[in-house]
Amino acid sequence: MNKLWLIIKREYLTRVKKRSFIIATVLTPLAFALFFIVVGFIFAYDSDESLRVAFVDPGQILDPKKGLKSEKDNSLHFLRRTESLDILKQQVMEGKYDGILVLPTIKDLYKKEDVIYYYSDKQVSLNANLAITNRVSKVIRDYKVRTLNLDQKELDALKSDLVFDPVPISSDKVDESSNASIVAVGIGGFMGVIMYMTVFIYGMMVMRSVMEEKTSRIVEVMISTVKPFQLMMGKIIGVGAVGLTQVLIWAIILPITLIIIQLIFGFDPQALQNASPSGAMAPDVDDMQYILADVSNELASQNWLLIIPLFIFYFLGGYFLYASMFAAVGSAMGDDLGEGQALTIPITIPVVLAFYIMFAAVQAPHSKLAVWSSMFPLFSPIVMPARLAFDPPMWQIILSASILAATSIFFVWLSARIYRVGILMYGKKVSFRELGKWIFYRD
Amino acid sequence: MSSILRLENVIKKYDKHIAVNDVSFEIPKGCIFGLLGPNGAGKTSLIRIITSITRADQGTVYLDGEKLNSKHPYQIGYMPEERGLYKKMKTGEHLMYLAQLRGLSKKKALSEINYWFEKFDIESWWGKRVEELSKGMQQKIQFISTVIHRPKLLILDEPFSGLDPLNTNLIKDEIAELKSNGTSIVFSTHRMEQVEEICEKIVLINQGKNVLEGSVKDVKNQFKENLFQIEYEGTLPADISDKFQLLKFDENKIVVKLEAEKKSNELLMYLLQEGVYVHAFNEILPSLNEVFIRQVGG
């Protein structure tokens, strides 16, 4: 036990003390933050684009009391002009305006399609295009309402805002809000991605480290003092601890940096939403706040006491399962990386498959595919955490967790059998048949 | 003298290949013992069994009278032929790590490392990464790491390969000193001139079997061909080639092969009686190299 501890300590400390680790751990959240800032600036820059548009209204469709400008948008300036088109064109050429908008003349009130002409030599941005079309479409609508003598109140009554609210039948179920499934998809997807990344990054790290030990020949010195199993487990646990450390540091640094950025730049991620084209598609600020409140309610009402321990369980199960396989493959590889690459394919395929199944599973968490994949131990570490927010039946959780636990232990044992032979085997081209044989070698 | 290591009928098979086939031998305490054999003879397999890296399929290994058990790795120091250290680790930390793995307390490990660093005059290396050291320097560290826990039995696999003459001598001196402090040393090599120089006893392994065992002197005697070299002055008797088998004839120097029943004194007496001035008379023993080639190649 003492030796195992020494090995874990070394594996952990040599990695954590490395400059590259410190840089990656600190810089990744900063890079993330930088990304937000840059994206924020890009959006801010885009809405800076301002256009001075002269418009003429030959059909007199615009309510004389109103202008074309809306209070929400200050990037577009509409100026009513009565000069002829030719004069205006001349003025555009002189740089007085950016373009000329000609409002349509409505002859047939029941005609639905129409064309608005915009004269300019400049390319019109998509934003401006949408904004102008939106304004004019409103103007036409108002004109039609006025001319047809329709009652504005009656028209407003035709619009209905609907909220989809699922209500459970059994009394023991909590009534969830309409955003429950979106929140669950979010949590599930997030967990699935984290699992996928950690299994891959740290599993690969274990494999590389085993290979290095073998090619640098230190391994023979090591296993004359410690058991190969101790060496392998020490490495897997040590690297796993490095992974946890990194994730924890990110979990602390990332929110702090975001808060700092918000304080310094006064930029908040919600601005991203509001900055979307012309603001017309984004929900009202009030709506956003309502949804945010609802989402945070949903988040708070999740059964975290079950989800977090289970997530950690699946993380450990999946990590040990895959990291041990990576260790076994690493032990079988020689100096020739290219030759050994083929051996990693059977490990990476299930991980990638599980990743895709995870996306299907968050959309249909109780489908046959989702249920059976969360039983299959090579998929379950990624698929099951993604389903947890959808309240899967308890028997499924227990069954899946038990299968995973048993399989992890079995795979660690199996990999250790391969590992102990592999690390001492040089210059032999290794096939899967060969790996299979190693399992049955005696010590 | 009791033995530090005793192997009894050790067998080890890999797949269908028999790496060690019923090998038995004994190494007396405080002895430098040569484990010889051509490449692929099974030397490494044997060493791996002794160091508990693998287990014998059959047979028993005794270390210091006890059956091999989990305590024993602490009492053995093993330097494999293919050297290796963690390249990114600092030299001092590396030695500390290996020393602690072999059961030394932190304090004890520290004092041992300081002892060796002072001895080799390399105190400044503590904070250097292994990869910053030259190959010869790394070999020194490797050697320290092998003996840091003061093992009873030291197993050195080709310890001089890749060493310059200066470092070779340094390690040789250390080996001699360790021996005088009571450490038993197994020395695995196929450099026979080193074996003759260093080892007292040897075992020769070929194709998984031990084909030859004993003290270096006995082995040489076992393979001697009754060759004698005589340096002389004067003229040889004319009938010498009738009485003795002359193998070589140089000016003032001959090599004679005696038939098994004839004693060397007969030859000497004959020469003296014939009035030849004999300056030197000595038996030519085969070198271990010749023995090796004859046993393995023939």
3-state per-residue secondary structure call for chain B: CCEEEEEEEEEEEECCEEEEEEEEEEEECCCEEEEECCCCCCHHHHHHHHCCCCCCCEEEEEECCEECCCCHHHHEEEECCCCCCCCCCEHHHHHHHHHHHCCCCHHHHHHHHHHHHHHCCCHHHCCCEHHHCCHHHHHHHHHHHHHCCCCCEEEEECCCCCCCHHHHHHHHHHHHHHHHCCCEEEEEECCHHHHHHHCCEEEEEECCEEEEEEEHHHHHHHCCCCEEEEEEECCCCCCHHHHCEEEEEECCEEEEECCCCCCHHHHHHHHHHCCCEEEEEEEECCCHHHHHHHHHHC
Cα distance between residue B126 and residue B149, in whole Å? 18
**74-113 of B, contacting A, C-beta below 8 A:** 74, 76, 78-80, 82-89, 97-98, 100-102
Q: Is a pLDDT exceeding 80 seen at residue A269? A: no
A227 inside domain = yes
Q: Quote the tokens at residue A76.
A: 């577009």
Choose one of A110, A129, A158: the last residue of a domain. A158
Contact A6 B84 (CB under 8 A): no
- Rounded to a whole number of angstroms, the distance from the CA of A398 to the nearest CA of chain B is 39
Q: How far is CA B218 from CA A193, B145, B224, in A?
A: 72, 35, 10
Q: Which of A10, A224, A437 sits opposite B78 (nearest CB)?
A: A224
Mean pLDDT along residues A190-208 = 84
Query: In the prediction, which pLDDT does B1 show?
Result: 57
Write down the domain spans for chain B.
3-217, 223-297
Sign for the pseudo-dihedral over CA of A166, A171, A173, A176: positive
Mean pLDDT along residues A154-172 = 79
- Residues from chain B contacting residue A14 (CB–CB below 8 Å): 86, 88-89
Query: Helix or strand or coil: residue A53?
Result: strand
Query: Are A375 and A418 found together in one domain?
Result: yes
Q: Quote the tokens at residue B60.
A: 């028993």
- Greater confidence (A164 vs A320) lies with A320
Report the range of poorest mean pLDDT among A84-93, A270-279, B197-206.
A270-279
Asked if residue A12 lies in contact with residue A246, where contact means CB atoms within 8 angstroms, the answer is: no
Categorize the per-residue pLDDT at A304 as very low, low, confident or very high, splitting at 50, 70 and 90. Answer: confident
B58 touches chain A (CB under 8 A): no
A3 touches chain B (CB under 8 A): yes
A166 inside domain = no
Closest-approach residue (CA) in chain B for A230: B101
Query: In the prediction, which pLDDT does A278 show?
Result: 42
- Residues from chain A contacting residue B52 (CB–CB below 8 Å): 224
A163 inside domain = no
Query: In the prediction, which pLDDT does B180 show?
Result: 92
B57 touches chain A (CB under 8 A): yes
Query: In the prediction, which pLDDT does A281 show?
Result: 42
Query: In the prediction, which pLDDT does A343 show?
Result: 82
Report the range of poorest mean pLDDT among A247-251, A344-348, B103-107.
A247-251
Categorize the per-residue pLDDT at A231 as very low, low, confident or very high, splitting at 50, 70 and 90. Answer: very high
Query: Are A130 and A226 found together in one domain?
Result: no
Rounded to the nearest integer, the mean pLDDT of chain B is: 88
Contact A442 B55 (CB under 8 A): yes
Cα distance between residue A54 and residue A70, in whole Å? 15
Categorize the per-residue pLDDT at A238 as very low, low, confident or very high, splitting at 50, 70 and 90. Answer: very high
Rounded to the nearest integer, the mean pLDDT of chain A is: 81
Query: In the prediction, which pLDDT does A419 show?
Result: 92
Query: 3-state SS of A54-120?
Result: EEECCCCCCCCCCCCCCCCCCCEEEEECCCCHHHHHHHHHHCCCCEEEECCCCCCCCCCCCCCEEEC
Topology adopted by domain B3-217 = Rossmann fold (3.40.50)
Q: Which of B15, B54, B102 sits opposite A225 (nearest CB)?
A: B102
- Residues from chain A contacting residue B48 (CB–CB below 8 Å): 424
A45 inside domain = no
Q: Is a pLDDT exceeding 90 seen at residue B155? A: yes
Q: Is a pLDDT exceeding 70 seen at residue A50? A: yes
Choose one of A158, A192, A208: the last residue of a domain. A158
**207-236 of A, contacting B, C-beta below 8 A:** 213, 216-226
Amino acid at A169: I
Asked if residue A132 lies in contact with residue A86, where contact means CB atoms within 8 angstroms, the answer is: no
Q: Is a pLDDT exceeding 50 seen at residue B19? A: yes
Residue B11, beta-bridge partner list: B58
Query: In the prediction, which pLDDT does A287 show?
Result: 63
Contacts of A3 (CB under 8 A, 6+ apart): A225, A226, A230, A234, B101
Q: How many domains does chain A have?
A: 2
A156 Rama class: left (phi>0) / alpha (psi -120 to 50) / beta: alpha
Query: In the prediction, which pLDDT does A125 show?
Result: 81
Cα distance between residue B55 and residue B49, in whole Å? 5
Report the range of poorest mean pLDDT among A59-73, A133-147, A337-351, B172-186.
A59-73
Q: What are the backbone dihedrals phi and psi of residue A132, each rounded to the nearest 5 degrees, phi first?
A: -65, -45
Q: Quote the tokens at residue A261.
A: 């950025």
Query: Are A210 and A266 found together in one domain?
Result: yes
Mean pLDDT along residues A272-289 = 49
Cα distance between residue A331 and residue A416, in whole Å? 10
Asked if residue A229 lies in contact with residue A416, where contact means CB atoms within 8 angstroms, the answer is: yes
Establish whether domains B3-217 and B223-297 are of one fold.
no
Mean pLDDT along residues B83-96 = 90
Query: In the prediction, which pLDDT does B267 show?
Result: 87
- Rounded to a whole number of angstroms, the distance from the CA of B26 to the nearest CA of chain A is 21
Query: Are A420 and A301 found together in one domain?
Result: yes
Give the neighbor-by-neighbor strand order of the sheet with B201-206: B76-79, B153-157, B184-189, B32-36, B201-206, B209-215
Q: Does domain B223-297 have CATH number 3.40.50.300?
A: no
Query: 3-state SS of A253-289?
Result: HHHHHHHHHHHHHCCCCHHHHHCCHHHCCCCCHHHHH
pLDDT tens readout for residues B39-55: 888 888 899 899 888 88
Report the range of poorest mean pLDDT among A119-123, B14-18, B83-87.
B14-18
CB atoms within 10 A of CB A93: 10
Amino acid at A409: I
Query: In the prediction, which pLDDT does A78 show?
Result: 85
Q: Which of B14, B55, B80 sits opposite A221 (nearest CB)?
A: B80
Report the range of poorest mean pLDDT among A51-55, A182-186, A417-421.
A182-186
- Greater confidence (A112 vs A210) lies with A210
pLDDT tens readout for residues B245-298: 888 888 888 888 888 777 888 888 888 888 888 889 888 888 888 888 888 876
Q: Which of B74, B82, B88 sits opposite A217 (nearest CB)?
A: B82
CB atoms within 10 A of CB A237: 19
- Residues from chain B contacting residue A443 (CB–CB below 8 Å): 54-55
- Rounded to a whole number of angstroms, the distance from the CA of A313 to the nearest CA of chain B is 31
Q: Counting every residue, how long is chain A?
A: 443
Q: For a pLDDT cut of 90, what percent of chain B falls above it?
A: 34
Q: Quote the tokens at residue A404.
A: 């995973």
Contact B80 A441 (CB under 8 A): no
Q: Is a pLDDT exceeding 70 seen at residue B66? A: yes
- Residues from chain A contacting residue B87 (CB–CB below 8 Å): 216
Q: Is a pLDDT exceeding 90 seen at residue A233? A: yes
Query: Are A234 and A351 found together in one domain?
Result: yes
B73 touches chain A (CB under 8 A): yes
A352 inside domain = yes
Query: In the prediction, which pLDDT does A286 show?
Result: 59
A362 inside domain = yes
Q: Is a pLDDT exceeding 70 seen at residue A45? A: no
Query: Are A273 and A399 found together in one domain?
Result: yes
Q: Is a pLDDT exceeding 70 seen at residue A129? A: yes
| CATH label of the domain that carries residue A73 | 3.40.190.10
Categorize the per-residue pLDDT at A398 as very low, low, confident or very high, splitting at 50, 70 and 90. Answer: very high
Query: Are A28 and A126 found together in one domain?
Result: no
CA nearest neighbour of A341 among A200, A208, A235, A232: A208
Q: Quote the tokens at residue B1.
A: 């003298």
Choose one of A158, A184, A216: the last residue of a domain. A158
Mean pLDDT along residues B141-165 = 90
- Rounded to a whole number of angstroms, the distance from the CA of A441 to the nearest CA of chain B is 8
- Greater confidence (A180 vs A343) lies with A343
Query: Are A287 and A327 found together in one domain?
Result: yes
Which residue in A205, A224, A434 has the most chain B C-beta atoms within 10 A of its own C-beta, making it the best mutation to test that interface?
A224
Query: Are A222 and A330 found together in one domain?
Result: yes
Query: Are A262 and A393 found together in one domain?
Result: yes
Query: In the prediction, which pLDDT does A272 show?
Result: 47
Q: For a pLDDT cut of 70, what percent of chain A falls above it?
A: 84
Residue B248, beta-bridge partner list: B255
- Greater confidence (A216 vs A407) lies with A407
Q: Is a pLDDT exceeding 70 seen at residue B215? A: yes
Q: Is a pLDDT exceeding 80 seen at residue A293? A: no
Domain enclosing residue A360, as ranges: 2-35+176-439
- Rounded to a whole number of angstroms, the distance from the CA of A315 to the nearest CA of chain B is 29
Report the range of poorest mean pLDDT among A101-105, A150-154, A221-225, B259-263.
B259-263
Residue B203, beta-bridge partner list: B35, B213
- Rounded to a whole number of angstroms, the distance from the CA of B35 to the nearest CA of chain A is 18
pLDDT tens readout for residues A30-41: 887 788 778 777
- Rounded to a whole number of angstroms, the distance from the CA of B12 to the nearest CA of chain A is 10
Report the range of poorest mean pLDDT among A43-52, A160-169, A368-377, B27-36.
A43-52
Asked if residue B264 lies in contact with residue B254, where contact means CB atoms within 8 angstroms, the answer is: no
Closest-approach residue (CA) in chain B for A228: B53
Q: How far is CA A52 from CA A47, A55, A95, in A?
A: 14, 10, 10
Contacts of B218 (CB under 8 A, 6+ apart): none
A232 inside domain = yes
Query: In the prediction, which pLDDT does A292 show?
Result: 66
Contact B54 A443 (CB under 8 A): yes
Categorize the per-residue pLDDT at B132 as very low, low, confident or very high, splitting at 50, 70 and 90. Answer: very high
Q: For a pLDDT cut of 90, what percent of chain A falls above it?
A: 18
- Residues from chain B contacting residue A438 (CB–CB below 8 Å): none
